């Protein structure tokens, strides 16, 4: 898209407006760093070592499942590297193990706890463990990743559908618009939460089915906005000129009208992302979200509520959720400033 | 001592860390009761100068690096808000260009006219009402008196401008600043408003600072004139002296650039390229819950025209007469009834696919060069889009070559084809829009007010360009305009439209020199001589 050509003074002004909002600008970088760091979560928090040297050979257990017999153990099953027995086997033949920063995965249960689970923060489990003895720090990292990825996927899917629907309604107008608007009103009247709860009791939702279900109800967010932009733009002279040239409707929509609608759409996106993350967290909190055992922030908050004697659960969940949503909101504000035509960079 | 004395005034705008010097040291004065015209093209700084007199420029973006404005001996620049309030709307009033937006749509007419009276004169409600009636009488709106409680949207453009004038005159100002007060109005209304201002000036003895780009108005209306260009007054003096014997090159250029001349004669006896027969565009008026059609707005009501190769048919009429609708209907951009034949082939009933090859041969140029170019596309993409759609020019390189040639033909540098529209001036943009139409080598072009949004000198250039293109490529033009001078410079044949119907039609010469119908006579007198109806 040409909007990102830096030679374009409009883009330059938008970028400088974005930078002028210091809070949003730094939030953007902070969020980007957090996202990029948690994206390869398996390299940061994992119960499988990154690299094992054993008997002159190199192994990468976080990528490949090696049976215990590969290290002269007894079982054909995958080696449990946290087992002191396996560690001894490896050390016995001049081997060494490189562990990730946090040697726990989101589902690793630490059986060697000083106190019954949930156990408070220690040097071993930085943020303590949850009620099943799983490392909270590891679960937060995975939980953050899945929240953001889910939010991004939901935002992307609902934007694509919403923009397409809004474009068709706004561009053609008339009966198509009228009928689609009424259909949207009916659809918007469906109580989403109840539907999700009912469906969650029928099928156990996976990441993808939950995404699909939520897209069904969230795609309507952008329709009104895009529709209004298309209604406004479709009578512009350059659209009429394109029609006089014999350009097809589809090309007119994509090349001439959509770039106009993109400004308001992009302004909205961070807030839709925010909403998606919140919805997922809320569903997880209620227990109707991702399948049991998934690393989810909502589930951690729920544990925090159920275990008030273990405040580290609630606090760490709260801090991560609050920080993530605040960052997204600040970014959204900066994006809004960037696209504000009346705003001059200071 | 002059009423208004502007000395070495400069105006500077701070925009995105840079300075723009909009006005760079202008000096002029206005005596009591005289009319001074500030003329210049867009961007010359004439409106900014006028707004400075009332200190209405946006602060702190605008500043005066130098200069003094003395009104009746009092300094305006840097005066406090109290002093300014005493001057604004009281001693000095202003009327603006756009009557549609300069009245508040949420207040009644009476309230808006009474406001300055109650504010400055401290009049009571009933006294103010009496004065409002008197003022409406003065501006020729006695039929509005029964509608004082109406809102502005129920008035026509001319009536609104009269209300604006009534508001401006409410406190009997010594100086009236009129910033292009008639530009947005139809020609017949324009003539009436100018006559009204002249009459009021004679009766009330106020001075008028008249800002315009229209030399005809200056010639008929002003006593003295200041010609502005690029923030400077390049020439000032008595209107007759300046117009008869311009000293400065820019003034000469401006005077020489009024569209003139007549088109080359069209060859006789050629078969019409485009013909319509009883063409109708009726928009239904729906009433009630079921939107039952109770009547129609007859935008175009039974029009027959024939355009031959190398011929221009001018369509003239006031706003709302259906000129543009006619053009759009002929191009099948809106639905219509009746016959449209292009090169002997009927266009009605063709679907998108069948129409597409014909789109190449029928093109359109719109009025507003700012709105007709997609802001997010480069010039190459804009001009080359038609080529791509119709599979012309082979590959990307071939299209680039054709786009370059079309740009050369309309007088643009082909090296600029990778730039975006906002980097071009209004006239250049209109050339781009013309290049977009011409690159397809059409045979028939609808020109929908192609010069109306442009400065006078640019208008002349565009007219010249269009005439040359017509001669080079045997083009047939349908030229839609309300500007009769441009129509006269372009057309062989003229159609006068009113309320969707043809009032009069004939050769351009016959229509301009001896209009037969009363409406056409009124239109000609108003447009060419700024006279109101001769009766």
Return the HEC string of A318-338: HHHHHHHHHHHHHHHHHHHHH
Q: Are strands B35-39 and B207-212 parallel, antiparallel or unpaired?
A: parallel
**Looking at beta carbons, which residues of chain B come within 8 Å of A345?**
16
Give A-chain residues touching B371 at CB under 8 angstroms.
236-238
Nearest CA in chain B to A247: B389
A 10 A CB-CB count for A159 gives 21
Cβ–Cβ < 8 Å for B424, B383: no
Interface of A with B (CB under 8 A): 2-3, 8-10, 13, 236-238, 240-248, 251, 255-256, 259-260, 344-345
Looking at the predicted structure, is the pLDDT value of residue B398 above 70? yes
Query: Hey, is B414 helix, strand or coil?
Result: helix
Give me the pLDDT at residue B105, please: 81
Q: pLDDT: is B534 or B395 the higher one?
A: B395
Cα A40 to Cα A108: distance, rounded to the nearest angstrom: 17
Considering B294-303, B388-397, B400-409, the range whose residues carry the highest mean pLDDT is: B400-409
Determine, for residues A240 and B355 on separate chains, whether the beta-carbon distance falls below 8 Å.
no
Q: What is the pLDDT of residues A204-218, one digit of tens each?
A: 778 888 888 889 888
What pLDDT is stored for residue A153 in this prediction? 93
Q: What is the mean pLDDT of chain A?
A: 85
> Residues A316, A329: contact at Cβ < 8 Å?
no
Contacts of B44 (CB under 8 A, 6+ apart): B228, B229, B230, B231
Q: What is d(CA A31, CA A23) in angstroms, rounded to the nearest whole number?
A: 12
Show the CA angle centred on residue B320, arms to residues B142 and B162, nearest 5°: 25
B331 touches chain A (CB under 8 A): yes
Is A343 a residue whose pLDDT tops 80? Answer: no
Q: What is the pLDDT of residues B405-446, one digit of tens each?
A: 999 988 888 888 888 888 888 888 889 999 999 998 999 999
For residue A7, the model assigns a pLDDT of: 54
CB contacts of A244 in chain B (<8 Å) are: 331, 333, 359, 362-364
Region label for B331, one of left (φ > 0), alpha (ψ between -120 and 50) or beta (otherwise): alpha
The structure tokens 């275990």 sit at: A307
Q: Which residues on chain A are in Cβ contact (under 8 Å) with B327?
A: none
In chain A, DSSP assigns E strands to 51-54, 57-59, 96-98
Instruction: List the single range of B175-179, B301-305, B417-421 with lowest mean pLDDT.
Output: B417-421
Residue A50 confidence (pLDDT):
85
Query: Residue B393 in 3-state DSSP?
Result: coil
The sign one gets for the Cα dihedral B506, B507, B512, B514 is negative
More confident residue, B106 or B269: B106
Q: What residue in B sits closest to A262 (Cα-Cα)?
A: B376
> What is the distance in angstroms between the Cα of A256 and the nearest Cα belonging to chain B?
6
d(Cα B216, Cα B530) in Å, to the nearest integer?
8
- HSE-CB at A333 with a 13 A cutoff on CA atoms is 13
Looking at A78-149, which runs of residues are DSSP E strands? 96-98
- Distances in Å between the Cα of A192 and the Cα atoms of A180, A187, A222 are 19, 10, 17
* ipTM for the whole complex: 0.72
CB B207 within 8 A of CB B34: yes
With an 8 Å Cβ cutoff, is B364 touching chain A? yes
CA distance A163 to chain B (A): 19
Q: Distances in Å between the alpha carbon of B11 and those of A180, B16, B79, B85, B208?
A: 53, 16, 16, 21, 22
Average pLDDT over residues A277-305: 86
Q: What per-residue confidence (pLDDT) applies to B535?
A: 41
Q: Minimal Cα–Cα distance from B145 to chain A, Å?
A: 37
- Partner residue opposite B389 with nearest CB, options A9, A13, A247: A247
Whether A76 contacts A68, CB under 8 Å? yes
pLDDT digits (tens, 9 = 90+) for B341-381: 888 888 888 888 888 888 888 999 988 887 888 887 888 88
Give A341's pLDDT tier (boundaries 50, 70, 90): low
Band of pLDDT at residue A81, cut at 50, 70 and 90: confident
Taking CB atoms and an 8 Å limit, are B440 and A247 in contact across chains? no
State how far residue A255 is from chain B, nearest Cα, in angstroms.
Answer: 8
**Selected residue with higher pLDDT from A111 and A166:** A166
Does residue A5 surpass a pLDDT of 60? no
> What is the predicted pLDDT for the residue at A322?
92
> What would the mean pLDDT of A56-70 be, rounded to a whole number?
83
To test the contact with chain A by mutation, choose from B289, B331, B334, B374 the residue with the greatest count of A C-beta atoms within 10 A, namely B374
More confident site: B295 or B494: B494
Average pLDDT over residues A185-206: 84
Mean pLDDT of B502-506: 89
The neighbouring-strand residues paired with B341 are: B275, B346
The residue ranges of DSSP E strands in B96-193, in sequence order, are 175-179
Is the per-residue pLDDT at A4 higher than 60? no
| DSSP-based three-state secondary structure for B176 | strand
pLDDT at A346 over 50: no
A2-11, B207-216, B441-450 — which is least confidently predicted?
A2-11
Does B31 score more than 70 pLDDT? Answer: yes
* pLDDT (tens digit per residue) in A15-39: 888 888 899 999 999 999 999 999 8
pLDDT (average), residues A86-100: 82
User: How confident is the model at residue B533, as a pLDDT?
Assistant: 54
Q: What is the pLDDT of residues A221-276, one digit of tens each?
A: 889 889 998 988 888 888 888 888 888 888 888 888 888 788 888 888 888 889 88
Start-to-end C-alpha separation, chain A: 27
Top-ranked range on mean pLDDT: pick from B395-399, B439-443, B459-463: B439-443
Closest partner residue to B359 (CB to CB) among A240, A244, A260 is: A244
* pLDDT of residue A344 exceeding 60: no
Tokens representing B493 are 């044949």
Interface test with A, best of B290, B385, B386, B389 (most A CBs within 10 A): B385
Which residue is closest to A263 within chain B, CA to CA?
Answer: B376
Distance CA A251, CA B139 (A): 52
Which DSSP category does A60 fall into?
-
Chain A neighbors of B424, CB-CB under 8 A? none
Neighbours of B134 (CB within 10 A): 11
What pLDDT was estimated at residue B454? 79
Rounded mean pLDDT, B319-339: 86
Which residues of chain A make contact with B331, given a CB cutoff of 8 A? Answer: 244
CA distance A237 to chain B (A): 4
Contact B440 A245 (CB under 8 A): yes
Query: For testing the chain A interface, which of B14, B16, B342, B376 should be mutated: the one with the most A CBs within 10 Å?
Result: B376
Instruction: Kindly determine whether residue A245 and residue B436, on different chains, have CB atoms separated by under 8 Å.
Output: yes
**Cβ B163 vs Cβ B155: under 8 Å:** yes
Q: Is A240 in contact with B364 (Cβ distance < 8 A)?
A: yes
CB pair distance less than 8 Å for A244 and B362: yes
Q: How close A188 comes to chain B (CA, Å)?
A: 25
* In chain B, % of residues over pLDDT 70: 97
Q: What is the mean pLDDT of residues B189-201?
A: 85
Contact call for A236 and B389, based on CB within 8 A: no
Total-model pTM: 0.75
Q: B379 CB near a chain A CB, below 8 Å?
A: no
Q: Quick one: pLDDT band at residue B452, thresholds 50, 70, 90?
A: confident
Question: Are A240 and B333 a contacting pair at CB < 8 A?
Answer: yes
pLDDT at A1 over 60: no
User: Which residues of chain B are within 8 Å of residue A256 when distances are taken between CB atoms?
Assistant: 374, 377
β-strands B4-15, B62-63 pairing: antiparallel
Asked if B352 lies within 8 A of A248 by C-beta distance, the reply is yes
Q: Which residues of B touch A248 (CB under 8 A)?
A: 352, 389
Q: Does B361 contact chain A (CB < 8 Å)?
A: no
Contact A8 B420 (CB under 8 A): yes
Contact between chains at B376 and A245 (C-beta distance less than 8 A): no
More confident of the two residues A117 and B236: B236
Which of residues B287 and B56 earns the better pLDDT score? Answer: B56
Of the listed ranges A26-30, A109-113, B211-215, the one predicted with least confidence: A109-113
What is the per-residue pLDDT across A39-57, written as a single tens digit (0 to 9) for each?
Answer: 888 888 888 888 888 887 8
Task: Say yes or no for a CB contact (<8 Å) between B356 and A246.
Answer: yes
Residues in chain A within 8 Å Cβ distance of B356: 246
Return the residue of A nearest to B331 by Cα.
A244
């Amino acid at each position: 898209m040409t909007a990102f050509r830096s030679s374009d003074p409009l883009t330059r002004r938008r970028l400088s407006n974005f930078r002028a909002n210091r809070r949003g600008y730094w939030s953007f970088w902070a969020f980007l760093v957090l996202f990029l760091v948690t994206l390869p979560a398996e390299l940061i928090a994992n119960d499988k070592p990154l690299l094992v040297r054993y008997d002159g050979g190199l192994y990468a257990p976080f990528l490949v499942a090696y049976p215990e017999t590969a290290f002269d153990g007894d079982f054909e099953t995958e080696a449990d590297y946290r087992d002191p027995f396996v560690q001894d086997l490896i050390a016995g033949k001049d081997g060494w193990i490189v562990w990730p920063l946090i040697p726990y995965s989101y589902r690793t249960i630490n059986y060697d706890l000083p106190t019954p689970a949930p156990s408070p923060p220690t040097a071993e489990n930085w943020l303590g463990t949850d009620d099943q003895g799983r490392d909270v720090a590891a679960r937060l990292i995975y939980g953050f990743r899945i929240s953001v990825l889910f939010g991004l996927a939901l935002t992307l899917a609902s934007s694509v559908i919403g923009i397409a629907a809004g474009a068709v309604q706004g561009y053609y107008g008339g009966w198509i618009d009228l009928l689609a608007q009424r259909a949207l009103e009916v659809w918007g009247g469906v109580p989403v939460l109840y539907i999700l709860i009912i469906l969650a009791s029928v099928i156990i939702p996976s990441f993808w089915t939950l995404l699909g279900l939520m897209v069904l109800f969230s795609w309507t967010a952008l329709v009104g906005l895009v529709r209004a932009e298309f209604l406004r733009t479709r009578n512009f002279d350059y659209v009429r000129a394109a029609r006089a040239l014999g350009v097809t409707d589809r090309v007119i929509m994509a090349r001439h009208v959509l770039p106009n609608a993109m400004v308001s759409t992009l302004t909205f996106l961070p807030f839709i992302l925010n909403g998606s993350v919140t919805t997922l967290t809320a569903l997880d909190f209620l227990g109707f979200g991702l399948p049991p055992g998934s690393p989810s922030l909502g589930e951690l908050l729920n544990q925090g509520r159920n275990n008030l004697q273990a405040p580290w659960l609630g606090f760490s969940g709260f801090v991560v959720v609050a920080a993530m949503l605040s960052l997204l909101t600040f970014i959204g504000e900066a994006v809004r400033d960037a696209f504000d035509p009346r705003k001059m960079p200071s | 001592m002059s009423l208004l004395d502007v000395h070495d005034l400069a105006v500077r705008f701070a925009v995105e860390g840079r300075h723009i010097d909009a006005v760079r040291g202008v000096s002029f004065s206005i005596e009591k009761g005289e009319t001074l015209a500030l003329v210049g093209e867009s961007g010359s700084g004439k409106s900014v100068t006028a707004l400075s007199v009332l200190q209405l420029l946006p602060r702190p973006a605008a500043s005066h690096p130098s200069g003094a404005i003395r009104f009746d001996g009092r300094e305006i620049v840097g005066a406090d808000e109290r002093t300014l309030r005493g001057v604004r709307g009281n001693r000095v009033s202003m009327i603006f260009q756009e009557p549609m937006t300069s009245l508040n749509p949420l207040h009644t007419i009476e309230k808006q006219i009474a406001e300055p009276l109650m504010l400055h004169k401290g009049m009571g409600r009933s006294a103010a009402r009496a004065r409002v009636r008197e003022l409406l009488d003065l501006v020729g709106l006695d039929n509005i008196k029964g509608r004082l409680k109406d809102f502005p949207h129920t008035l026509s453009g001319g009536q609104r401008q009269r209300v604006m004038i009534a508001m401006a005159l409410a406190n009997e100002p010594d100086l009236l600043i009129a910033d292009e007060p008639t530009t947005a109005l139809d020609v017949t209304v324009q003539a009436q408003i100018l006559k009204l201002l002249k009459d009021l000036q004679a009766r009330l003895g106020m001075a008028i600072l008249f800002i315009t780009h229209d030399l005809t108005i200056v010639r008929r209306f002003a006593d003295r004139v200041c010609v502005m260009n690029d923030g400077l007054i390049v020439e000032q003096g008595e209107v007759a002296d300046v117009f008869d014997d311009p000293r400065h090159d820019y003034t000469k250029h401006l005077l020489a650039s009024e569209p003139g001349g007549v088109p080359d004669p069209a060859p006789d006896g050629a078969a019409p390229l485009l013909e319509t027969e009883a063409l109708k565009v009726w928009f239904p008026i729906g009433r009630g819950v079921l939107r039952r059609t109770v009547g129609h707005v007859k935008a175009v009501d039974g029009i027959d025209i024939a355009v031959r190769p190398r011929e221009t048919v001018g369509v003239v009429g006031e706003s709302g007469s259906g000129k543009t609708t006619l053009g759009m209907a002929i191009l099948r951009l809106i639905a219509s009834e009746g016959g449209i034949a292009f090169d002997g082939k009927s266009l009605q009933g063709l679907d998108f696919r069948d129409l597409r090859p014909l789109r190449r041969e029928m093109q359109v140029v719109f009025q507003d060069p700012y709105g007709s170019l997609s802001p997010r596309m480069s010039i190459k993409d804009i001009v080359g889009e038609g080529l791509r759609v119709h599979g012309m020019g082979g590959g990307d390189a071939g299209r680039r070559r054709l786009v370059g040639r079309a740009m050369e033909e309309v007088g643009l540098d082909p090296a600029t084809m990778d730039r975006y529209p906002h980097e071009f001036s209004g006239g250049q943009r209109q050339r781009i829009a013309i290049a977009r139409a011409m690159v397809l080598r059409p045979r028939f072009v609808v020109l929908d007010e192609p010069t109306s949004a442009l400065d006078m000198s640019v208008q002349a250039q565009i007219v010249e360009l269009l005439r040359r293109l017509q001669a080079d490529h045997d083009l047939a033009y349908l030229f839609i305009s309300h500007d009769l001078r441009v129509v006269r410079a372009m057309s062989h044949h003229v159609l006068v439209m009113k309320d969707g119907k043809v009032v009069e039609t004939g050769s351009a010469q016959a229509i301009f020199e001896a209009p037969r119908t009363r409406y056409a006579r009124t239109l000609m007198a108003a447009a060419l001589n700024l006279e109101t109806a001769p009766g």
